[in-house]
Amino acid sequence: MPTETTNDRLKTYRDLARRIRAHCLRMTHDGASGHAGSMLSMAELLAVLYTRILRVDPQNPRWPERDRFILSKGHGGGAVYAVLAELGFFPGEWLKTYYQNNGRLLGHISHHVPGVEFSTGSLGHGLPVAVGMALAARQVRATHRVFCLMSDGDCDEGSTWEAIMFAAQHKFDNLTAIVDYNRVQALGHMEDIIELEPFAKKLSLFGWAVRQIDGHDCAAIEAALAQLPIEPGKPSFIIARTTKGKGVDWMEDTVSCHYRYASEEQLAAALAKLGADA
Amino acid sequence: MRSAFNETLLQLAREDSRIFMILADIGYGEIEPFAAAFPDRFFNVGVAEQNMTGIACGVAMEGNIAVTYSIANFPTLRPLEQIRNDVCYHRANVKIVIIGGGLAYGALGMSHHSTEDLAIMRALPEMVVVAPCDIPEAVAATRAMIAYDGPVYYRCGYKDEPPVHDGPIQFQLGRAITVREGGDAAVIFSGTVGYNAKLAVEKLAGRGIACRLVSMPTVKPIDQEAILEAAKTGIIVTVEEHNIHGGLGSAVAEVLMDRGAGNVRFKRIALPDVNVCKVGSQEWLRAQYGMSPEAIAETIENTLK
B197 domain residue, yes or no: yes
Q: Has residue B50 been placed in a domain? A: yes
Same domain, yes or no, for B199 and B139?
A: no
Residues of A in contact with B22 (CB under 8 A): 132
Residues 6+ apart with CB under 8 A from B246: B116, B118, B119, B120, B122, B123
Q: How high is the pLDDT of residue A122?
A: 97
CA distance A33 to chain B (A): 22
Counting one residue from chain A and one from chain B, the pairs whose CB atoms sit within 8 A come to 90
Averaged confidence pLDDT in chain B:
98
B6 & B149 share domain:
yes
pLDDT in tens, A113-147: 999 999 999 999 999 999 999 999 999 999 999 99
- List, for residues A182-213, the tens digit of each pLDDT value: 999 999 999 999 999 999 999 999 999 999 99
Per the DSSP assignment, residues forming a β-bridge with B213 are B180, B187
For residue range B117-151, what is the model confidence (pLDDT) as tens digits? 999 999 999 999 999 999 999 999 999 999 999 99
Q: Are residues B57 and B183 in the same domain?
A: no
Q: CATH no. for residue B257? A: 3.40.50.920
Pairing type for strands A236-241 and A175-181 reads parallel
State whether A135 and B43 contact (CB < 8 Å).
yes
- For residue B126, is it within any domain? yes
Domain boundary among B123, B155, B187: B155
Residue B70 lies in a domain: yes
Do B205 and B148 share a domain, yes or no? no
> Do residues B58 and A129 make contact, with C-beta atoms less than 8 angstroms apart?
yes
CB atoms within 10 A of CB B297: 24
Query: Residue A58: which of A90, A20, A105 has the closest Cα?
Result: A90
Identify whether residues B135 and B240 lie together within a single domain: no
pLDDT of residue A2: 56
Q: Give CA–CA dist A248/B244, Å, rounded.
A: 55
C-alpha to C-alpha distance for B162 and B135, rounded to whole angstroms: 8
**Which chain A residues are Cβ-neighbours of B20 within 8 angstroms?**
136
Provide the pLDDT for residue A278.
45
Q: Does A218 touch chain B (CB under 8 A)?
A: no
Min Cα separation B121/chain A (Å): 19
Task: Judge whether A206 is closer than 8 Å to chain B, CB to CB.
Answer: no
Res. A3: pLDDT tops 80: no
Is any Cβ of chain A less than 8 angstroms from the Cβ of B179? Answer: no
* Contact at CB, B58 and A128, closer than 8 angstroms: yes
* Interatomic CA distance for residues B214 and A117, integer angstroms: 43
pLDDT for position A275: 87
Cα–Cα dist A22/A92, whole Å:
13
> What ipTM was estimated for this complex?
0.95
Q: What integer is the mean pLDDT of B248-255?
A: 98
User: Mean pLDDT across the stretch A20-28?
Assistant: 98
Q: Does A125 lie at the interface with B, CB-CB under 8 angstroms?
A: yes
Q: Please name the member of A132, A136, A170 whose beta carbon is closest to the beta carbon of B54.
A: A132
B45 shares contact with chain A (CB less than 8 Å): yes
How far A131 CA sits from the closest chain B CA (Å)? 6
Strand pairing class (A146-151; A68-71): parallel
The gap between the terminal CA atoms of chain B, to the nearest Å, is 37
Residue B110 inside a domain? The answer is yes
Query: Residue A41 in contact with residue A214, Cβ under 8 Å?
Result: no
Chain A residues inside the 8 Å CB shell of B66:
132
Contact B61 A118 (CB under 8 A): yes
Contact A132 B59 (CB under 8 A): yes
* Shared domain check, B272 and B241: yes
Residues B78 and B221 in one domain: no
- Using DSSP's 3-state secondary structure scheme, residue A124 falls into coil
For chain B, state the CA radius of gyration.
19
Looking at the structure, tell me whether residues B296 and B193 fall in a common domain. yes
- Which of A111, A131, A163 faces B90 most closely, judged by CB atoms? A111
Q: How far is CA B143 from CA B12, B98, B137, in A?
A: 8, 16, 10
For residue B255, what are the contacts with CB-CB under 8 A and spacing of at least 6?
B222, B224, B227, B228, B261
Interchain proximity A125–B86, CB inside 8 Å? yes
| Alpha-carbon span A143 to A135, nearest angstrom | 12
**Is the CB of residue A122 less than 8 Å away from at least one CB of chain B?**
yes
Residue A276 has pLDDT above 90, yes or no: no
Q: B286: pLDDT confidence band, cut at 50, 70 and 90?
A: very high
Pinpoint the alpha helices (H) of A88-141.
126-139
| Omega of the bond leading into A229 within 30 degrees of 0 (cis) | yes
What are the φ and ψ backbone dihedral angles of B123, each rounded to 5 degrees?
Answer: -80, -5
Contacts of A122 in chain B (CB under 8 A): 81, 85
* Predicted confidence (pLDDT) at residue B212 exceeds the cutoff of 50: yes
pLDDT, average across residues A154-165: 98
Q: Give the HSE-up count for residue A53: Cα atoms under 13 Å, Cβ half-sphere.
A: 28
CB distance from B85 to chain A under 8 Å? yes
Local confidence band at A4 (pLDDT 50, 70, 90 cut-offs): low
**Cβ <8 Å between A132 and B45:** no
Q: Is residue B49 part of a domain?
A: yes
Q: Could you list the residue range(s) of the whole structural domain that residue B281 is in?
A: 177-304
Query: Measured between beta carbons, which residues in chain A are less than 8 angstroms from residue B55?
Result: 128-129, 131-132, 135, 163, 166
* Residue of chain B minimizing CA distance to A126: B54
Q: How far is B86 from chain A (nearest CA, A)?
A: 8
Chain segment A60-114, per-residue pLDDT in tens: 999 999 999 999 999 999 999 999 999 999 999 999 999 999 999 999 999 999 9
Query: What is the least distance, in Å, from the CA of B29 to any CA of chain A?
Result: 23
Task: Kindly determine whether residue B82 and residue A165, on different chains, have CB atoms separated by under 8 Å.
Answer: no
Three-state secondary structure call for residue A111: coil
Q: Are B10 and B98 in a shared domain?
A: yes
Are residues A166 and B48, on separate chains, in Cβ contact within 8 Å? yes
- The Cα A214–Cα B135 span in angstroms is 59
B64 interfacial to chain A (CB closer than 8 Å) = yes
Of B155, B188, B205, which residue constitutes the final position of a domain?
B155
Same domain, B147 and B197: no
The 10s digit of each residue's pLDDT in B225-244 is 999 999 999 999 999 999 99
Q: Please tell me the distance in Å from B127's CA to the nearest CA on chain A.
A: 18
CB pair distance less than 8 Å for A166 and B46 = yes
Q: What is the number of other CB atoms lying within 10 angstroms of the CB of residue B165? A: 18
pTM of the model: 0.96
> Chain-wide mean pLDDT for chain A?
96
Same-domain pairing of B20 and B137: yes
Question: Alpha helices, DSSP H only, in chain B?
Answer: 2-15, 32-37, 49-61, 80-81, 117-122, 135-147, 194-206, 224-231, 248-258, 282-288, 293-304
Does residue B102 fall inside a structural domain? yes
Give the CATH number of domain A4-274. Answer: 3.40.50.970
